[in-house]
Structure 1
């Protein structure tokens, strides 16, 4: 076939964690091209905490943190269970073993990581779940000076930490601003941030640090990186993907690909039509998502048009969220785990453990809405002690912006009865629920949902609060409430792949020359989120796996 505008060995579509595949392919001596449809590099990874959940990783071994492949597989088995081919035994084993190799490889390329000590697996210590790590399997990139990227330093998508040089692994203890632990972390973060500015550095952490470090390696390796270059179609000949059509600067560019195309361009959280089509009748809205603005699903649709199979398109990385006065969704994470907080439906009933992993929290909201109604929205109710002691959204302890109240984004009342009226909650149901909840808080044991038993629940609780770091009475007026929706940080269903990251067709046969990773695929994690950075890690690992297979 003639008429090619460019040729390469390995094409990576998307610029998030999946570009690990580009780094690996170039290290194996291949000619590589990375294309990103937006004007900024980094995708959803850059907007994330940038943590990677990697069992038995080299940093754990160096610090003598116990782990094993068998423990990780037991954790998969007891938490994820049978989730279909996307989370097959072969895919799980490839993820664990290749993750170890990938970290060693990235370190050899100059990437620097740190362990997130104490950032426990999300189901460690939870009843019926085995193999979890209380100390955590998460790692993250060390702080990086964007100036080292030269002319590319302003082409990185903005991160999540604003002007602070704070690690994701520090976020939990930093929320305890009134304690010695929290103050110590705040001081460390403040000093790191100040020193960076004094030295004239442009330090980034979290997902921005990971993507900036990956971009630095790509540029050093001489890899071509094209921004504002959107995938328009794949070119298939005799059943094999041999190229791609990109839309760039108002024209189509045909790229010949000799060894493989890796799709790593995210899911469809921002595509209203796809969300509604795959929601299964559940309430859904792109107004509730905090996903990358480019998460519009065309990569999945293009692959499906060429016969690709899909799975779990009804699933997402759910994140309970409340809506700010300007309409922006705000993720609700640590607030619901702290003492003095309870979540109820419209009838005032408590229906799940508020401190569970965010994906499961969203699933519980959907399930309750489907069975009983009144869960979308649900209501997070906190008392004044909670507002005095803990941050809420981006507001520090003790400060509640008046705009939140006057706009109705947050409700405030001097009694629970009055608060119920302002929220449209059944007052009698709320009073009955809070009375029972407060008895649990006094005893330190949640008889209904076991809140505070899991290690991750304790991590986001208040370790200075006894007898249970997650349970405290909702008793001190005034009381506050926000409406919670099943927001998300991206979809987690998509193209079905095998253990080599090859995209499968509807007959279960690999599509020759086509690979995929990240949120455009059905996740190896199934319908669970196993630990901090599970999605970012899987994207990086299967990008690495794809490069190895294509290069063979």
Structure 2
């Protein structure tokens, strides 16, 4: 019988949003909780992310705008079942559609301020049955992390947007010159930043706001003992049951027992290149926006303990470019907003267009990887003209007028007076590239992308330019005004999307389909309940929080009470 150095009711590995949600529920049930985080910061990948939650039929939606039945219809339409997607099933998807709104209500009841992400943030496949063209997204209200106190404010992982602006408002700012309302929004944000500095506030938004607010709730309710730089090396098992973990305390191995269970929410393996080479060849850790501690330790440990790993070739793709400074950027330069705008397309190394440049970033990168198996497509090339450069920022690196000389000098951006000459510069057959651009221009003039249907989804147009009037929709514009430009695009990501297979109660399953007693998991430590698809913004954070909450509910015996 294992002897433990100390024992808690609930032992949580990792400090992502699902961990915090589970701790708050365990506190309400009167149980003791320890959260073990191997890094020096609280928040996990969630804190660095957009912090968006995809929550169908949530409290912020207009009555009649959504329903449990509509959400299930959509998930069934977009998420295929099959042997290669054991993380999902009709039962797990229905569990999510039913429990996610309840989880959100519980979190709000704990004092965590949430709001609708936007009234217009469409599902990624909104044209399918059950899809919503408005928004199922939920985000945290911007947060002054100084509310955590000096000690914990310093321990909250850095977010990607440490300003007092809502995520969806931030997306409007590039169009300020077209709208007085957006200009006034920019002024209000500027005044709030100034006021914050004068009053000693440190505003964060997106994922850092979510995790800051969750951390404040956990600390305020004394819901968990949170320990940093406390890596877990082993799940202690006896007679097929998880009894605790081996961690580190004061530089020594430390055994912590778990009366009710162990929850693994330790992130993915985005920074483990050897695992990437094994499961998703052609991808690079250097292209990932995953956090440095995302090394797959618990994936390997759970597999040793009899769990089944699945969907390991999946990642939450986020196309990016090796723009100047990319290797030292805290957030790698994403290009979704580049190729999704008018006057831009993407081609492979043969000069052929092969995807819808708008749409889901996960599908975009999956298409790149699939294409590359038969035709060189990593890197691919974004092709733009002067119309684009006059109007839009490039890869989050600012406007061309200010940065063009640096971009061209670095060799990252290529420029030529003709499409044929641009093809020569990037090593793409000139005739093929010219034919592709002419075909695209014909689609724009004809009002329809006959190859990949760009602009036929509400989401495609949301990524475009709402003020664009010269094409058939908000994301299709001709490429005809020289000079012409190209930048390389690679399949980056915001994290991996595969892990252990779990049941509807978040219990980790063995190969025979039976649960490992006392062992639970959520987040990207698991094979996603969304299978191999990303149905909408927040399809990682929402399920992580929900299934972490479900795990605690099951372990505490509260299944029929919430």
Using structure 1 for the length normalisation, give the TM-score.
0.95
Question: What residue in structure 1 maps to residue 132 of structure 2?
Answer: 133
Cα deviation per residue 1:313-350 (whole Å; 9 max; x = unaligned)? 11111111111234524221111111010000111111
Are 1:36 and 2:37 an aligned pair?
Answer: yes
The CA distance in 2 between the partners of 1:191 and 1:90, in whole Å, is: 49
The CA distance in 2 between the partners of 1:251 and 1:142, in whole Å, is: 40
Gaps of 5+ in 1: none
Cα deviation per residue 1:112-133 (whole Å; 9 max; x = unaligned)? 11112101111113xxx11111
Question: What residue in structure 1 maps to residue 540 of structure 2?
Answer: 535
Question: What residue in structure 1 maps to residue 438 of structure 2?
Answer: 435
Question: What residue in structure 2 maps to residue 215 of structure 1?
Answer: 215
Question: What residue in structure 2 maps to residue 85 of structure 1?
Answer: 86
The CA distance in 2 between the partners of 1:315 and 1:173, in whole Å, is: 30
Alignment map for 1:363-402 (pairs within 5 Å)? 363-371=366-374, 373-397=375-399, 398-402=401-405
How far did 1:284 drift?
2.2
Question: What residue in structure 2 maps to residue 124 of structure 1?
Answer: 126
Question: What residue in structure 2 maps to residue 252 of structure 1?
Answer: 253
The CA distance in 1 between the partners of 2:183 and 2:204, in whole Å, is: 22
Are 1:284 and 2:268 an aligned pair?
Answer: no
| 104-113 or 412-421, which deviates more | 412-421
The CA distance in 2 between the partners of 1:351 and 1:159, in whole Å, is: 34
How far did 1:420 drift?
1.5
Alignment map for 1:398-547 (pairs within 5 Å)? 398-466=401-469, 467-547=472-552
The CA distance in 1 between the partners of 2:176 and 2:443, in whole Å, is: 26
- 8 Å CA contact 1:234–1:243 kept in 2: the answer is yes
Question: What residue in structure 2 maps to residue 147 of structure 1?
Answer: 146
The CA distance in 1 between the partners of 2:211 and 2:351, in whole Å, is: 44
Question: What residue in structure 2 maps to residue 551 of structure 1?
Answer: 556
How far did 1:187 drift?
3.3
Provide the secondary structure at the position in 2 that maps to 1:198.
Answer: helix
The CA distance in 1 between the partners of 2:2 and 2:341, in whole Å, is: 63
Provide the secondary structure at the position in 2 that maps to 1:177.
Answer: helix
How far did 1:477 drift?
1.9
- 8 Å CA contact 1:51–1:207 kept in 2: the answer is yes
Cα deviation per residue 1:483-508 (whole Å; 9 max; x = unaligned)? 11111111101100000000001111
- 8 Å CA contact 1:270–1:296 kept in 2: the answer is yes
Are 1:99 and 2:100 an aligned pair?
Answer: yes
| 339-348 or 179-188, which deviates more | 179-188
The CA distance in 2 between the partners of 1:184 and 1:507, in whole Å, is: 60
How far did 1:308 drift?
0.3
Provide the secondary structure at the position in 2 that maps to 1:321.
Answer: coil
Alignment map for 1:44-55 (pairs within 5 Å)? 44-55=45-56
The CA distance in 1 between the partners of 2:456 and 2:462, in whole Å, is: 11
The CA distance in 1 between the partners of 2:491 and 2:407, in whole Å, is: 20
How far did 1:247 drift?
2.6
Question: What residue in structure 2 maps to residue 177 of structure 1?
Answer: 176
Provide the secondary structure at the position in 1 that maps to 2:508.
Answer: strand
The CA distance in 2 between the partners of 1:185 and 1:443, in whole Å, is: 36
Question: What residue in structure 1 maps to residue 239 of structure 2?
Answer: 238
- 8 Å CA contact 2:55–2:101 kept in 1: the answer is yes
How far did 1:2 drift?
4.9
Question: What residue in structure 2 maps to residue 306 of structure 1?
Answer: 305
Task: Report the CA distance shift for 1:79/1:2 in structure 2 as closer, same or farther (over 3 A).
Answer: closer
Question: What residue in structure 2 maps to residue 356 of structure 1?
Answer: 359
The CA distance in 2 between the partners of 1:133 and 1:122, in whole Å, is: 9
Provide the secondary structure at the position in 1 that maps to 2:148.
Answer: helix
Alignment map for 1:57-68 (pairs within 5 Å)? 57-60=58-61, 63-64=62-63, 66-68=65-67
Provide the secondary structure at the position in 2 that maps to 1:533.
Answer: coil
- 8 Å CA contact 2:335–2:396 kept in 1: the answer is no
- 8 Å CA contact 1:51–1:533 kept in 2: the answer is yes
The CA distance in 2 between the partners of 1:419 and 1:182, in whole Å, is: 36
The CA distance in 2 between the partners of 1:58 and 1:257, in whole Å, is: 34
Cα deviation per residue 1:485-540 (whole Å; 9 max; x = unaligned)? 11111110110000000000111110000000011100011111111111011110
Are 1:334 and 2:333 an aligned pair?
Answer: no
How far did 1:197 drift?
2.8
The CA distance in 2 between the partners of 1:453 and 1:235, in whole Å, is: 52
- 8 Å CA contact 1:264–1:520 kept in 2: the answer is yes
- 8 Å CA contact 1:50–1:140 kept in 2: the answer is yes
Q: What is the root-mean-square deviation in Å for CA atoms of aligned residues?
A: 1.5
Cα deviation per residue 1:77-121 (whole Å; 9 max; x = unaligned)? 111121533111111111111111111111110011111210111
Provide the secondary structure at the position in 2 that maps to 1:99.
Answer: helix
How far did 1:186 drift?
2.8
Question: What residue in structure 2 maps to residue 263 of structure 1?
Answer: 264
Using structure 2 for the length normalisation, give the TM-score.
0.94
The CA distance in 1 between the partners of 2:532 and 2:187, in whole Å, is: 38
How far did 1:70 drift?
1.0
